[in-house]
Structure 1
Amino acid sequence: MAVYKVYAPPAPPTGGAASPEHFVFVRESFSWAAFLIPLPWMLYRRLWIVLAFYCLAAVAMALLAGSELAPVSMALGVLTPFVLGFEGNALRGWSLDRRGYTLEGVAEGRRRDDAEIRFFTRWVGGHAAAPQQPTPGPAARTLPITTLRETPTGIVGLFPTAGTQT
């Protein structure tokens, strides 16, 4: 099962709640698009700040490539796509937070469609409803809590000498 964070867009200026059609489901997993094609992925997802830092890092790696720190530059060039792959969806959530989106909840499903169905079946009018707790039946009753002094024999569990003073 995949886990998705659900972000609601900011409230419209005319008032009212955000439309559920504009909710964003961000999967909590490795982002293959961020790993394989980082620039188009950042442009498509509108991650402008992340794109700016990525470009700065690329310029810094290019400058380091011509110096004696070329192995460091090469190592950073190899590790950067992996970092983007592992942290890409977290960066996307961070970017949504900065744009005014609010985290509405978490949903899980085999696919995004399943997660949407699960989320919206418990989402009621603007907030996620609490999961229903089963009501205890007649067999489920609470037992009285007794302390060591209230027990008639002073025995605690299987150790008869635990409650006695010697």
Structure 2
Amino acid sequence: MATYTVHEPPVSDSDRVDRAVELAFVKDGFSWLTAIFPPLGFLAHGLWLMAIAYLAGAGLLGYVLAQAKVDPDWIGLIMLMINIYLGFEISTLRRWMLDQKGWRMLGVVNGRSIEECERRFFESWLPDQPVIQSDTPKTPGNPSGTPGGLRFWPFGARA
């Protein structure tokens, strides 16, 4: 079972379909890519600032440990443990970055795949969202409710 948190941007459209397109689903779980090579894992998840911070922090930590005359095997083990930890925490970092940008968490959903999670979330979320209606009323001469008559007829409503 996969678990995803659902996040909404700070400024979103009022129409529920447009809002649904903007939602971000963040998977909770381990990232092998991040554990093997964290900068690439960060970049794959859109966390380029974290990739830069990791490179600077890892370089600084390696330099400090080397200057402290720590055995290179221990330095490698320390870096491996940090990478594995980051593999577990990549989703937390993504949620934190979204929170810093003003995104709001809407909920948590479980499923076998991302498609199932999206379906489950939208089945419960969409009915509670407002439907934006057109300002132009639908009439017999204007069945689509679009200004100027039929949608693809450039000269207004057909007589």
TM value normalised by structure 2: 0.68
Kept in 2, the 8 Å contact 1:3–1:107? The answer is: yes
1:1-166 alignment runs, 5 A limit: 1-12=1-12, 16=14, 19-63=19-63, 64-71=65-72, 72-123=74-125, 124-125=128-129
2-structure distance, mates of 1:62, 1:92? 25
Kept in 2, the 8 Å contact 1:61–1:76? The answer is: no
Deviation at 1:101, TM superposition (A): 1.0
Deviation string 1:38-90 (CA, Å, 9 cap, x unpaired) is 21221232324422431232112331235412355223211121011111111
Kept in 2, the 8 Å contact 1:8–1:102? The answer is: yes
2-structure distance, mates of 1:33, 1:96? 21
Kept in 2, the 8 Å contact 1:5–1:105? The answer is: yes
SS of aligned partner of 1:30 = coil
SS of aligned partner of 1:19 = helix
Deviation at 1:36, TM superposition (A): 2.4
- Label 1:53 to 1:76 Cα distance change in 2 as closer, same or farther (>3 A): farther
Deviation string 1:119-161 (CA, Å, 9 cap, x unpaired) is 00000217xxxxxxxxxxxxxxxxxxxxxxxxxxxxxxxxxxx
1-structure distance, mates of 2:40, 2:48? 12
Specify the structure having the higher radius of gyration (Cα).
1
For structure 2, the 5+ residue unaligned runs are 131-159
Paired letter, 1:95:
M
How much is the aligned-residue C-alpha RMSD, in angstroms?
2.1
1-structure distance, mates of 2:109, 2:62? 41
Paired letter, 1:99:
K
Identity score, percent: 31
2-structure distance, mates of 1:41, 1:78? 15
1-structure distance, mates of 2:47, 2:71? 29
For structure 1, the 5+ residue unaligned runs are 127-166
